[in-house]
Amino acid sequence: MKVVIVGGVAGGATAAARIRRLDEQAEIVVFERSGYVSYANCGLPYYIGGIIEDPKQLTLQTPESFFSRFRVDMRVLHEVTAIHPDRKTVSVKNLRTGEELEESYDKLLLSPGARPARPRLFGTDTERLFTLRTVEDTFAIHRYVTAQKPKSAVLAGGGFIGLELAENLQKLGMEVTIVQRPRQLMNPFDPDMASLIHAEMRRHGVRLMLGHTVEGFEDGEEGVKVLLKDETPLTADFVVLAIGVTPDTRLAKDAGLSLGIKDSILVNDRMETSEPDIFAVGDAVQVKHFVTGEDALISLAGPANRQGRIAADNICGGDSHYPGSQGSSVIKVFNMTAAVTGINETAAKRAGIAADAVVLSPMSHAGYYPGGRLMTMKVVFEKETNRLLGAQIIGYEGVDKRIDVLATAIHAGLTAEQLKELDLAYAPPYSSAKDPVNMAGFMIENISKGLLREFHLDELLSLPKDGSVTLLDVRTEKEYEHGHIDSFLNIPVDELRKRFSALDSQKPVYVICQSGLRSYIACRILAGNGYTCYNFSGGFRFYDAVINDRCLIESAHACGMDQ
């Protein structure tokens, strides 16, 4: 059996190694148009910032090491220019010599990945405009930064690459601005959770221009002008386009393979395309979202590697199936960690799912053990069934392990209530006897049983201030004096039973505290004494962060100011 693989990075390299492990006799040829195989896309910004010092660390394998171990013919700087399904061959161009050849196959695997989106904007031919997708892109930016010593950069786009690159450039001493058309960074997060990411970026001096549209670029003596719609242009020493990626599927399209969203390659759960003996994996393929079952494009290394393994199994006569992508991801944001899995509340409602969410702010480990840090968790679930839909966590230590537990729970089909039953490891330096994941389960169980009624930020902002409801803040007097919401009466939770006379038992009570715990206790006290009570999800700390972020974005648009 002869297998030809187009693309030698995540999915393609994984498939090649797996095929060899399953079939020692197979002939395996990989064509990679760049000069590198099996490289770490996710590490590229950290080489530019100097955190990864040796460029060799970016490549997990070389063509020589791959051949030595797996006897795979890795041909770099070879571009496949056409696929001929009728005669089971591909046309290939040697980019070193210009020579063209035709290679036959028994099985063909496409792993072309995605290319940086380059919208039709004026001035994209400037030499000081970069993209970041390949090792060559990384070296180009690194050379420019090393030689020119730029003092400023504009990043168009606020996704994973944009944030990671912003941090690394800022640490090199540059003034960094992120311009993003949506009014938030990191779209996998809900806007309220994204506000915590915004605050961390601003804390480290990154200028955010959210809700602004880039219209083009102009070279000038002082740098590159970034032209914005209805705004004064920005000027920087260089610009990086990081506005997302587009499936690189020209080959598949020209060969007549069936296509899906944004011309992605349609595959079944065996990673088979519409043409016999042609498989496809990675960023170029359309998948099913594991949570919603909807068609999706999810460009992440983990799914690409798993798809490569599944395709390899099936090429070798197996019967492996891909269950769908869940979108689990994590990112370092300066001193913080932000992680997500499944779908967020915004996406759930857009998909027509009746969703609810709990927001909590637990410590990373036992409060009495030194060094604990707060994290903010948002767990999204379906109202009627308590089906787990997704989770978002932003904090410091322990964020990554909690998101992985929640990702596993979603994949295993656990309900949100069942989170309370998970037997998770505990020692004071690592967790609490009631782990944050367990706490989310307790809260959702209380909602399910009617012991907890919540209200959220949008509901808070629309609450009547005419005295028809009671607005109650149960924090201490000092906390209340340090900052509070207008019209909220302050009665500390420990004084509540003594001061029922200040409350009207005929009016519903909406309660807030710093994190949501004391207000829940207050609600149980009030409910036990005949009151109808609602607890604010997330607490005052969360409210304050989200509202401050909204005000910064709105005032910047109103006044033309920096955010």
Evaluate if residue 276 carries a pLDDT over 80. Answer: yes
- Give me the DSSP letters along 479-493: HHHH---TT-EE--G
* Residues 118-142, mean pLDDT to the nearest whole number: 88
Band (556; pLDDT cuts 50, 70, 90): low
pLDDT at 563: 54
SS3 of residue 66 by DSSP: helix
Whether the CB-CB separation of 219 and 210 falls below 8 Å is answered with no
Work out the mean pLDDT of the chain and round it to a whole number: 94
Evaluate if residue 21 carries a pLDDT over 50. Answer: yes
Evaluate if residue 464 carries a pLDDT over 50. Answer: yes
Evaluate if residue 559 carries a pLDDT over 60. Answer: no
Q: Can you state the angle between helices 160-171 and 191-203, rounded to 10 degrees?
A: 10
* Residues 434-450, mean pLDDT to the nearest whole number: 96
Eight-class DSSP state of 374: B
Band (225; pLDDT cuts 50, 70, 90): very high
Q: Which amino acid, residue 112?
A: P
Tokens matching residue 37:
């195989």
pLDDT at 561: 45
Q: Which amino acid, residue 499?
A: R
Better-scored residue on pLDDT, 399 or 136: 399
pLDDT at 346: 96
pLDDT at 135: 84
| Sign of the dihedral through C-alpha 187, 189, 195, 198 | negative
Band (558; pLDDT cuts 50, 70, 90): low
| CB crowding 67-94: b at 16 or more within 10 Å, else e | eeebebbbbbebbbeebebeebbbebbe
Taking CB atoms within 8 Å and a gap of at least 24, the contacts of 35-38 are 35/76, 35/77, 35/135, 35/136, 36/76, 36/134, 36/135, 36/136, 37/8, 37/9, 37/13, 37/61, 37/62, 37/63, 37/66, 37/74, 37/76, 38/8, 38/9, 38/10, 38/13, 38/66
Evaluate if residue 557 carries a pLDDT over 70. Answer: no
Highest-confidence range of 229-233, 333-337, 557-561, by mean pLDDT? 333-337
Evaluate if residue 265 carries a pLDDT over 60. Answer: yes
pLDDT per residue as tens digits for the range 302-346? 999 999 999 999 999 999 999 999 999 999 999 999 999 999 999
Tokens matching residue 500:
């029922």
Evaluate if residue 118 carries a pLDDT over 90. Answer: no
Task: For residue 301, give every residue at least 6 positions away whose Cβ sits within 8 Å of its Cβ, in sequence order, or none.
Answer: 10, 41, 42
Q: Which amino acid, residue 25?
A: Q
Query: How many C-beta neighbours within 10 Å does residue 197 have?
Result: 23
Evaluate if residue 513 carries a pLDDT over 60. Answer: yes
Evaluate if residue 4 carries a pLDDT over 80. Answer: yes
Eight-class DSSP state of 37: S
pLDDT at 560: 45
Tokens matching residue 261:
């969203």
In the chain, what percentage of residues exceed pLDDT 70? 99
Stated as kind and residue range, the H or E segment containing 395 is strand 388-395
| CB crowding 436-449: b at 16 or more within 10 Å, else e | bbbbbbbbbbbbbe
Q: Which of 42, 316, 513, 559 is catalytic?
A: 42
- The residue whose two tokens read 């006799």 is 25
Q: Give CA angle at 302 (195, 190), nearest 5°.
A: 20
Better-scored residue on pLDDT, 247 or 244: 247
Tokens matching residue 543:
């409210």
Task: For residue 439, give every residue at least 6 positions away whose Cβ sits within 8 Å of its Cβ, in sequence order, or none.
Answer: 360, 362
CA distance 410 to 336: 24
Evaluate if residue 238 carries a pLDDT over 50. Answer: yes
Eight-class DSSP state of 233: P
* Residues 107-112, mean pLDDT to the nearest whole number: 97
* Residues 57-74, mean pLDDT to the nearest whole number: 88
Whether the CB-CB separation of 130 and 137 falls below 8 Å is answered with yes
pLDDT per residue as tens digits for the range 156-182? 999 999 999 999 999 999 999 999 999
R_g over Cα of the chain? 27
pLDDT per residue as tens digits for the range 378-435? 999 999 999 999 999 999 999 999 999 999 999 999 999 999 999 999 999 999 999 9
Evaluate if residue 57 carries a pLDDT over 90. Answer: no
Band (221; pLDDT cuts 50, 70, 90): confident
Tokens matching residue 313:
């199994």
Whether the CB-CB separation of 35 and 9 falls below 8 Å is answered with no
Tokens matching residue 480:
């209340």
Task: For residue 46, give every residue at least 6 positions away whose Cβ sits within 8 Å of its Cβ, in sequence order, or none.
Answer: 52, 164, 168
Catalytic annotation present for 316: no
Better-scored residue on pLDDT, 522 or 301: 522
